[in-house]
Structure 1
Amino acid sequence: MEDLLATPARVYVAGHRGLVGAAVTRCLMSHGHEPLGLTRSELDLRDAGATAAVLRETRPDAVVLAAARVGGIMANSSHPVPFIEDNLRIQLSVISAAHAAGVRRLLFLGSSCIYPRLAPQPIREEALLTGPLEPTNEPYALAKIAGIVQVRSYRRQYGTSYICAMPTNIYGPGDNFDLESSHVLPALIRRFHEAKRDGLDEVVLWGSGAPRREFLHVDDLAEACVTLLRRYDDDMPVNVGCGEDLTIRQLARQVGEIVGYRGRITFDATKPDGTPRKLLDVSRMTALGWKPRIPLREGIASTYAAWLSGAGKSQ
């Protein structure tokens, strides 16, 4: 199979300080490539002119668009405007700037939330735009769908070798543990850690606990990104996940065991559940020779340990 990313390649990672971007940067270096990136204070990716100037100056061989405004149900529900506007601006800015600078390869990272709320399980890539979205994250999902269509449009009009990946729920060291804006897994880690610290007898969680979710360690996603840059060139997005899921109730129990919380875990069913299930069909990804290597329990334990060694020390 032809390698579409010659080694060494200079790869601009938009969002290189974030959870995914940092893992992709580490992975690129381990494969002999040269990752590039600027911090948010150095470059606002929503600024199309400044972004175009940076890519014109650096002339990377490839771009990985990992920068995004992200968050859980609470953040999406409370602040829908930045979830659609910031993501649209970032995508329009980076993708158009990459093309203007003559960048040969680009990988746009979307999300499994782009699929219809009640899509057949496991979800195949062809399910995109076949039904209504989950209302709690519709603005974010629509922005990501627009990014997919933008990439497809550049391929169609200019023949660019740009591709899209749709990861499942990602977690790992460096995750966001802020309870107002984090995703479910880091939020559970922090909730149970603080409950253990404070000697609480009960932790009450949002929703019924019945929705099923799939989780992938960020280092496995990073390996998938490099595999896609090297081996994939098609306008169909590619799902990236582990192909297995569990209920939020099962996840909570597992996180509680790892953290060492021994109290009761109850659920407030008056709060939203979100999409009932989001299990991805990952056959297109595994056909490229990639598969995840980090089991969920091991990944949760290492993520908790990393958080404790950093910000969690003061908690």
Structure 2
Amino acid sequence: MSIKPIVLLTGGRGMVGRNILEHAMAPQFSFLAPTSKELDLRDFAKVQEYINTYSPELVIHAAGLVGGIQANMASPVDYLVENIDLGRNVILASRNAGIKKLLNLSSSCMYPRNASNPLTEDLILRGELEPTNEGYALAKIFATRLCEYIHKENIAFQYKTFIPCNLYGRFDKFDPKHSHLIPAIIHKVHLAKLNQQKTVEIWGDGGARREFMYAGDLADAVLKAINDFDRVPSLMNVGLGHDHSINEYYEVVSRIIGWNGEFTHDLSRPVGMKQKLVSIERQKIWGWQATTSLADGISKSYNFYLKSIQ
């Protein structure tokens, strides 16, 4: 009987982590996915002790403090400091323990706000960041560069980074104070239908464009990477290669939920970057693509939302 490879997954209770653990390929591995109570990633000594004790063959760093525009603007210190601490502790403890393979999950938020789309991996630190989530972006840049520096000092350490586009899906956060765009839209439109509202407000003119990938597809890319780690680029976007306007996301969600009202626009509200579409050229060469359509992904997310509020 073969022994399953041990994989440490941080953030195993978050949206990305739970999608990884429920993936059909997950049983091929022995996943360690400690909760925050079982392992406080903000405590370097405890992280080091945990990794030394279990000696995983590979570490996937998916933990992080995440949230939408409102949360990032309200708590920039937390989004900067906590995410830096998490990345530093997991990555350095892994190096100190001699773990040779680590996959760091970053964010397309770390691209410059005015960069030309599609966003290529070489654009990082080539311009001003989006102010509404700058702290979070800086923390993600820190972790990405740390992985690169460790590999530069010793090429035996394959510390690589995925840069996913915006994500949504099962196990998402639907509380408006913490949610990203699609779960926020699902919550708003569901309440509009429930309360028989005739209008739903959209921040800005709705023309800003975003690329949202179903979290289950990112999980699929991560599981493929575990089995094909040597061929994974050291830095790679993971996305769809196409995007939609904010208005279009509202329209698709409304159609799936069955709400037939009208949209209004509050032009005084912040909307973030005008477009954030990642280049998937490296991803194509690696040989992977997302398969979940927007309608299917939103349907699955809405079904999860309905169960979560029961």
So what's the TM-score if we normalise by structure 2? 0.95
Mapped pair 1:224 → 2:211: no
Change (3 A) 1:24 1:290: same
Q: Could you list the per-position Cα deviations for residues 110-135 of structure 1 after superposition, in whole angstroms to 9, with x for gaps in the alignment?
A: 10111011111111111111111111
User: Partner letter of residue 176 of structure 1?
Assistant: K
Contact 2:159/2:234 (<8 A) preserved: no
CA–CA distance in structure 2, aligned partners of residues 86 and 232 of structure 1? 30
CA distance in 1, matches of 2:223, 2:9: 12
The alignment status of 1:52 with 2:39, answered yes or no, reads no
How far is the alpha carbon of 1:108 from its aligned partner?
A: 0.4
In structure 2, the CA distance between the partners of 1:7 and 1:105, relative to structure 1 (3 Å rule), is: farther
Task: Indicate conservation of the 8 Å contact 1:84/1:140, yes or no.
Answer: yes
Structure 1: state its 5+ residue gaps. Answer: 1-5
Q: Per the alignment, do residues 255 and 153 of structure 1 end up closer, same or farther by CA in structure 2, a change over 3 Å counting?
A: same
Note the 1:233-248 alignment, pairs <5 A.
236-248=234-246
Q: Does 1:215 align with 2:201?
A: no
Tell me which amino acid in the other structure corresponds to 2:256: I
Q: Distance in 1 between matches of 2:27 and 2:45?
A: 32
Question: What is the alpha-carbon root mean square deviation over aligned residues?
Answer: 1.6
From 129, 138, 147, the equivalent of 1:151 is: 147
With over 3 angstroms needed to count, the CA separation of the structure-2 counterparts of 1:28 and 1:103, relative to structure 1, is farther
Q: How many residues align?
A: 307
Structure 2 residue identity aligned to 1:121: N
Could you report, residue by residue, the CA deviation over 1:17-63 in whole angstroms, capped at 9, with x for unpaired residues?
A: 11001112233754611111110111110110001111111110000
d(CA) in 2 for partners of 1:66 and 1:188? 24
Q: Find the counterpart in structure 2 of residue 66 from structure 1.
A: 62
CA distance in 2, matches of 1:136, 1:233: 35
Q: Is the 8 A contact 1:7 1:32 kept in 2?
A: no
Q: Which position in structure 1 is the counterpart of 2:128?
A: 132
Of residues 7-16 and 276-285 in structure 1, the stretch that sits farther from structure 2 once superposed is 7-16
The whole-number CA distance in structure 1 between the counterparts of 2:231 and 2:55 is 21
**Would you say 1:92 and 2:92 are equivalent positions?**
no
Indicate if the aligned counterparts of 1:51 and 1:97 stay in contact, CA closer than 8 A: yes
One-letter identity of the residue aligned with 2:240 = C
Identity within the alignment, %: 36
* Equivalent position to 1:171, from 168, 172, 176: 168
The CA distance in 1 between the partners of 2:107 and 2:176, in whole Å, is 21
Choose which of 248, 251, 258 in structure 1 pairs with 2:249: 251
Q: Give per-residue Cα distances to partners, 1:191-211, cap 9 Å, x unaligned.
A: 000111011111112222111
The reply on whether 1:42 has 2:38 as its aligned counterpart is: yes
Q: How far apart, CA to CA, are the structure 2 residues paired with 1:29 and 1:233?
A: 19
2:297 counterpart of 1:299: yes
Kindly provide the amino acid, as one letter, of the partner of residue 184 in structure 2: A
In the other structure, the counterpart of 1:3 is: none
Letter in 2 for 1:114: M
Q: Distance in 2 between matches of 1:263 and 1:232?
A: 51
Instruction: Name the CA shift for 1:236/1:131 in 2 (closer, same or farther; >3 Å).
Output: farther
Post-superposition shift, 1:226?
2.2
Paired with 1:115 and 1:239, the residues of 2 have a C-alpha distance of 11
